[in-house]
């Protein structure tokens, strides 16, 4: 079995629209001009770096934005140009609606789905549940296309199950693998942590719920995910995100915790009673399990949210050789740097921290870990994927050339109403589906068939 990091390619409309209440970086950078070309190249650079370490690397495509299908569903009519112009000039928040329908947020593929390897699932198939992302309108738009893309890639039903996203509105709000962690040690069944921020039924949790910022994922959604991916009930844990962490800006679990294999790095405000959780994990996983807890005094939660040391990718290169792919910001922030150097000093298998520049994603609250969906595949499962999504140098170089041909190096809110931008995006994405050998997956491709 090998873990693959399916990174989201940054989309051509990457911009800073301040859409995510509770995501401090998104709020701070609202309205600033963006550089989609630099953003996509930084992302491809990360894929090249991770592949170069010998870790599994693959790619997921962006989504068509502005999302004209959604604008049409909201009653705007006419040609593509007219739909855009009518939406943008609508006096009741048209500008904002256009921003919502233009977000490139599908790049953060940690939120695309929750997955469980075939080895953990009772039917022996790899399980994927696309996230409904209902907590935020601009993200909820992703679920339908994500499902289509995943079904195009994981098409072989002998090996893969791509479920429907969870139904409904806020009751089963699901943010995908950003709240999911899989841990394992030799000789023990893998454990799945399905974290959540609020309860849909039965009143607020005893540990309280955030007051300042929204909790995006419900306990009920996490429980449904555990059922759907068919892990043994004894292997599923449902820790609550600490409401104080959410109120400090940890809108997803992966802002304050990262785990893989036998290692868990976490801030004490990642989960309610983090020490009890660590003790439970140790009793279930044995002495091999290593947790490095950052206390508030060592790493204030505000620094953890600003510098994202926990939003690192924790890569297992060999059983006793893990490394971290951390954002550059985690080296610049003295608290985050001190914590990461303690991780290196202590008895655990983490051997190196590599810092990468991902400023454009970071400024919308997305670090290295947000940009990838982890999917564990057997050799037979890898072979069953016929789309060209596994990253080798030829593909990465082709994607760079493709991006340089199609992406703008400056984009601000006003550009979103430009019908030319919309045509540029469709041309780029149409070409991309050919490069990735995906077949038609986008609304505009299916409508024209
Ligand atoms: O959902 N930002 C994303 C960031 C997602 C990060 N993912 C993980 N933590 N796994 C979000 O808040 C901002 C878009 C804007 O403001 O333009 C945004 O959607």
Q: Give residue-wise pLDDT tens across range 44-74.
A: 999 999 999 999 999 999 999 999 999 999 9
Question: In the prediction, which pLDDT does 449 show?
Answer: 54
Confidence bin at 204 (pLDDT 50/70/90): confident
Nearest atom (ligand 1) to Cα of 370: 10
C-beta separation of 33 from 71 below 8 A: no
- Measured in angstroms, how far is the CA atom of residue 415 from the centroid of ligand 1? 20
Cα 170–171–173 angle (5° rounding)?
60
Residues 407 and 37: their CA atoms lie apart, in Å, by 5
What integer pLDDT is reported at residue 92 of this predicted model? 86
> Which residues share a beta bridge with 5?
57, 374
Atom of ligand 1 nearest to the CA of 103: 17
Per-residue pLDDT at 442 exceeds 90: yes
Question: Is a pLDDT exceeding 70 seen at residue 105?
Answer: yes
Instruction: Over range 426-445, report the average pLDDT.
Output: 98
- What average pLDDT does range 335-361 have in this prediction? 98
- 252 assigned to active site: yes
Bridge partners, residue 316, by sequence:
322
User: Which of 105, 141, 178 should be mutated for ligand 1, with most atoms under 8 A from CB?
Assistant: 105
> Is 175 an active-site residue?
yes
Atom 2 in ligand 1: residue holding the nearest Cα:
364
Strand pairing partners for 338? none
CA of residue 373 to ligand 1 center, whole Å: 15
Which letter does DSSP use for residue 119 in this model?
A: G
- For 135, which DSSP code? T
Residue 181 has a pLDDT of 98
Q: State in Å: Cα 127 to ligand 1 middle.
A: 24
List of E strands, 121-225: 126-130, 160-162, 180-183, 191-194
pLDDT band at 17; cut points 50, 70, 90: very high
Binned at pLDDT 50, 70 and 90, residue 102 comes out as very high
Pocket of ligand 1 (CB under 6 A): 16-20, 23, 26, 103, 105, 108, 110-111, 136, 139, 178, 251-252, 254-255, 364-366, 370
Q: Supply the pLDDT for residue 423.
A: 97
448: pLDDT confidence band, cut at 50, 70 and 90? low
Average pLDDT over residues 355-373: 98
Residue 94 pLDDT class (50, 70, 90 cuts): confident
- From 5, 47, 36, 4, select the one nearest 398 (Cα to Cα): 47
Q: Give distance in angstroms: CA of 318 to centre of ligand 1.
A: 31
Ligand 1, atom 7, residue with closest C-alpha: 370
Among candidate residues 75, 117, 49, the one with its CA nearest the CA of residue 368: 49
- Reduced to 3 states (helix: H, G, I; strand: E, B; else coil), residue 236 is strand
Do residues 3 and 55 lie in contact, with contact meaning Cβ atoms separated by under 8 Å? yes
User: Which listed residue (252, 267, 355, 422) is catalytic?
Assistant: 252
Mean pLDDT value across the chain: 97
Residue 369 CA: which ligand 1 atom is closest?
10
CATH topology of domain 2-67+102-232+364-447: 3.75.10
Catalytic residue among 370, 381, 406, 422: 370
Across-strand partners of 429? none
Nearest CA owner, ligand 1 atom 6 = 366
Question: Which residues have CB under 8 Å from 156's CB, separation 6+?
Answer: 384, 385
Q: Which atom of ligand 1 is nearest to the CA of 133?
A: 1
Q: What's the rounded Cα separation, in Å, for the pair 97 and 275?
A: 43
pLDDT tens, residue by residue, 211-222: 999 999 999 999
Q: How confident is the model at residue 203 (pLDDT cuts 50, 70, 90)?
A: confident
Mean pLDDT of 283-288: 97
Task: Give the ranges where 101-249 is alpha helix by DSSP (H).
Answer: 137-140, 143-153, 219-228, 243-247
Give 248 Cα–ligand 1 centroid separation in angstroms. Answer: 15
Report the pLDDT averaged over residues 91-107: 95
Which single residue is written with the structure tokens 């810092």? 355
The percent of residues in the chain predicted with pLDDT above 90, rounded, is 96
Encoded tokens for 413: 């809110």
Name the residue of 27, 43, 108, 250 to mutate for ligand 1: max ligand atoms within 8 A of Cβ: 108
Rounded-to-integer distance, Cα 201 and Cα 426, Å: 42
C-alpha 124/C-alpha 380 separation (Å) is: 12
Mean pLDDT of 391-404: 98
Q: Is 449 exposed, middle or buried (0-12, 13-18, 19+ CB in 10 A)?
A: exposed
Q: Would you state the pLDDT for residue 16?
A: 98
């Amino acid at each position: 079995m090998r873990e693959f990091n399916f990174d989201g390619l940054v989309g051509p409309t990457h911009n800073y629209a301040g859409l995510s209440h509770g995501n401090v970086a998104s709020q701070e950078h609202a309205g600033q001009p963006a550089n989609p070309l630099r953003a996509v190249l930084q992302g491809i650079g990360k894929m090249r770096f991770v592949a170069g370490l010998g870790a599994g690397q693959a790619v997921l495509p962006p989504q068509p934005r502005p999302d004209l299908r959604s604008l049409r569903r909201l009653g705007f009519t006419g040609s593509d140009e007219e739909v855009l112009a009518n939406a943008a000039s609508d006096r009741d928040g048209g500008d904002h609606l256009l921003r919502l329908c233009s977000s490139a947020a599908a790049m953060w593929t940690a939120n695309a789905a929750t997955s469980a390897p075939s080895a953990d699932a009772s039917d022996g198939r790899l399980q994927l549940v696309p996230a409904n992302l209902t907590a935020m309108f601009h993200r909820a738009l992703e679920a339908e296309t994500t499902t289509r893309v995943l079904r195009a890639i994981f098409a072989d039903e002998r090996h893969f199950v791509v479920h429907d996203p969870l139904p409904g509105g806020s009751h089963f709000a699901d943010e995908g693998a950003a709240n999911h962690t899989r841990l394992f040690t030799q000789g023990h069944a893998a454990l799945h942590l399905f974290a959540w921020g609020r309860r849909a039924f039965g009143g607020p949790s005893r540990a309280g719920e955030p007051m300042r910022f929204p909790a995006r994922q419900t306990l009920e959604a996490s429980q449904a995910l555990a059922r759907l991916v068919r892990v043994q009930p004894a292997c599923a844990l449902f820790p609550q995100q600490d409401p104080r962490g959410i109120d400090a800006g940890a809108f997803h679990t992966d802002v304050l915790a990262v785990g893989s294999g036998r290692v868990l790095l976490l801030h004490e405000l990642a989960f309610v009673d983090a020490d009890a959780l660590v003790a439970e994990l140790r009793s279930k996983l044995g002495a091999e399990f290593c947790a490095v807890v950052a206390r508030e005094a060592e790493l204030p939660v505000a620094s953890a949210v600003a510098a994202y040391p926990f939003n690192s990718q924790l890569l297992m290169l060999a059983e006793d050789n893990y490394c971290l792919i951390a954002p550059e910001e985690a080296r610049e922030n003295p608290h985050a740097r001190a914590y990461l150097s303690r991780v290196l000093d202590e008895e655990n298998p983490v051997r190196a921290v590599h810092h990468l520049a991902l400023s454009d994603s970071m400024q919308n609250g997305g670090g290295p870990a947000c940009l990838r969906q982890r999917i564990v595949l057997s050799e037979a499962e890898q072979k069953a994927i016929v789309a060209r999504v596994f990253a080798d140098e030829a593909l990465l170089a082709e994607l760079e050339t493709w991006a340089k041909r199609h992406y703008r190096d400056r984009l601000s809110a006003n550009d979103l109403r430009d019908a030319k931008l919309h045509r540029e995006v469709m041309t780029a994405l149409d070409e991309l589906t050919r490069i990735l050998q995906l077949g038609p997956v986008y609304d505009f491709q299916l409508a024209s068939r």
